[in-house]
Amino acid sequence: MKNKPLLCKIVSMSTEADTCRKYVLPKLLEAGWDNDPHSFTEQRTFTDGRIVVSGDKIRRKKQKRADYLLSHTRNYLIFALDALNNLSIIIFE
């Protein structure tokens, strides 16, 4: 059986930066993602973009970016996190 959250609140944020600063970053720090060997980086591109071939033309589509990339060790990425803006989010505490 899954653990149920002790406290759940719905929060409406005005910008993505607000969501990151007020809710996501403190939870990452509280969970120990800033301690070795775990780490996180902010505002990173994690793909070069899909290669599209059309006739004799080759181009790349847009790169994928995330607000946070969580790594188990330096070269072992395990999660890409993208915060949302202007939406209600649910925070589990």
CATH 3.30.230.10 fits 8-92, yes or no: no
Report the 10 Å Cβ neighbour count for 20: 21
Mean pLDDT of the chain, nearest integer: 78
β-bridge mates for residue 80, sequence order: 69
HSE of 56, CA atoms in CB hemisphere, 13 A: 0
The yes-or-no verdict on residue 92 having pLDDT over 90 is no
Q: Which residues of 32-61 are buried (b: 16+ CB within 10 A; e: fewer)?
A: ebeeeebebeeeeeeeeeeeeeeeeeeeee
In the chain, what are the domain boundaries? 8-92
Question: What confidence tens digit (pLDDT) does each residue in 14-48 have?
Answer: 677 777 888 888 888 988 888 888 888 888 888 88
* pLDDT the model gives residue 78: 84
